[in-house]
């Protein structure tokens, strides 16, 4: 986790009751010169002409658009307000920091439930009254009523393909060459470190390596710790999670395969036919060159080594290779 700070100038949508609906930061920056985390409003002299034109009172939405300057002293500390939280999400989607390099503890709770519309964010309470005013601008589309907005409405990272905008949250980290297909989903503080194809679900806290494919209806889900926060879960490079397969709380190394309809959890019993023994999935969490498959004669989940060029692990047993960190062993 990095300990430097960040600064950015942005436009915040603030409801008449003072609720911060969102904050857009077009050009966030990392900084080592911030002495205190804070957010303050900016005057006209502090803004570019482009940003100044966006400082308005939207009476139809009952929202004031204001210019703000947000500073974060230390990204390893929790966010202090909604502006701080939005800046962290922008840093991730702008690829200025990678997942797990900043503190997201309590971030979700700082965000308010918002009606996300094609006319801008609104308070969901008494929305039908707002709709009456907004209809003079044309048909109103409500995309969601949720805390988290779509990434593409704030950040459009270069070199990616996203088939359904609603399925990638602000705060997702997508490396160039990543394709999120129509049924794919990427949450905040998760993403890809290289070109990948995603047709399944990446929960918050999940990072996958380059050239990994997550099949249709597959799920990669990071487990929660005792405080309710997601534990980091990693999937290495060149892995293939087949249709309706997945892993919950078990990391994978490079060159791993999970066959169709197999879901791996820490306490999942895994047969190792080559060793004539049974282990639990957490014992081999994070290992390279693993192929999880169904036994041809019964429903047991088995594991064997993938045949990959350069596999130098030889004939070592899975248990010899399973030097698992303590935090993954629960």
User: Residue 260: helix, strand or coil by DSSP?
Assistant: coil
Q: How far is CA 42 from CA 45, 47, 53, 71, in A?
A: 8, 7, 13, 13
Q: Which regions of 73-226 does DSSP assign to beta strands (E)?
A: 114-117, 120-122, 142-146, 161-162, 179-180, 185-186, 191-192, 197-198, 201-202, 206-208, 213-214, 219-221
Phi and psi angles of residue 321, each rounded to the nearest 5 degrees, phi first: -95, -5
Query: How many helices and strands, by DSSP H and E, does the chain display?
Result: 5, 27
Q: How far is CA 138 from CA 7, 57, 130, 255, in A?
A: 36, 19, 13, 51
Do 92 and 172 contact (CB within 8 A), yes or no?
Answer: yes
Residue 199 falls in the annotated catalytic set = yes
CA 252, CA 274: separation in Å to the nearest integer?
A: 20
- Catalytic residue among 199, 275, 307, 313, which? 199
Distance CA 88, CA 25 (A): 10
Nearest to 198 by CA among 220, 213, 188: 213
- Tell me, what DSSP letter sits at residue 321? H
What are the angstrom distances between the C-alpha of 105 and each of 79, 172, 260, 275, 307? 8, 16, 34, 42, 40
Answer yes or no: are the C-beta atoms of 291 and 303 closer than 8 Å. Answer: yes
- Check residue 55 and report its DSSP letter: -
The residues that are catalytic are 199
């Amino acid at each position: 986790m990095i300990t430097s700070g960040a600064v950015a100038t942005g436009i915040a949508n603030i409801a008449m009751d003072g609720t911060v609906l969102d904050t857009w930061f077009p050009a966030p920056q990392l900084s080592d010169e911030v002495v205190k985390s804070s957010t303050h409003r900016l005057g006209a002299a502090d803004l570019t002409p482009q940003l100044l034109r966006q400082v308005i009172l939207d009476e139809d939405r009952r929202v004031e658009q204001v210019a703000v300057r947000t500073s974060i002293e230390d990204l390893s500390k929790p966010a202090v307000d909604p502006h701080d939280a939005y800046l962290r999400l922008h840093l991730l989607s702008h690829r200025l920091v990678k997942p797990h390099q900043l503190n997201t503890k309590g971030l979700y709770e700082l965000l308010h439930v918002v009606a996300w519309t094609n006319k801008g964010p609104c308070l969901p309470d008494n929305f039908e009254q707002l709709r009456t005013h907004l209809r003079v601008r044309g048909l109103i589309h409500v995309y969601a009523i949720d805390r988290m907005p779509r990434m593409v409405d704030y950040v459009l990272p270069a070199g990616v393909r996203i088939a359904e905008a609603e399925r990638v949250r602000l705060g997702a980290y997508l490396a160039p060459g990543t394709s999120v297909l129509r049924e794919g989903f990427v949450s905040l503080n998760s993403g890809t470190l290289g070109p990948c194809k995603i047709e399944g679900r990446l929960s918050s806290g999940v990072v996958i390596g380059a050239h990994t494919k997550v099949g249709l209806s597959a799920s990669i889900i990071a487990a929660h710790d005792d405080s309710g926060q997601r534990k980091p879960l990693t999937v290495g490079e060149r892995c293939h999670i087949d249709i309706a397969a997945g892993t919950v709380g078990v990391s994978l190394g490079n060159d791993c395969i999970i066959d169709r309809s197999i879901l791996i959890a820490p306490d999942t019993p895994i047969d190792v036919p080559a060793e004539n023994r049974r282990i639990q999935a957490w014992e081999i969490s994070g290992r390279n060159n693993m192929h999880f498959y169904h036994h041809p004669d019964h429903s047991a989940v088995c594991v064997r080594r993938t045949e990959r060029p350069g596999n130098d692990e030889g004939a070592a047993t899975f248990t010899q290779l399973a030097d698992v960190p303590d935090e993954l062993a629960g």
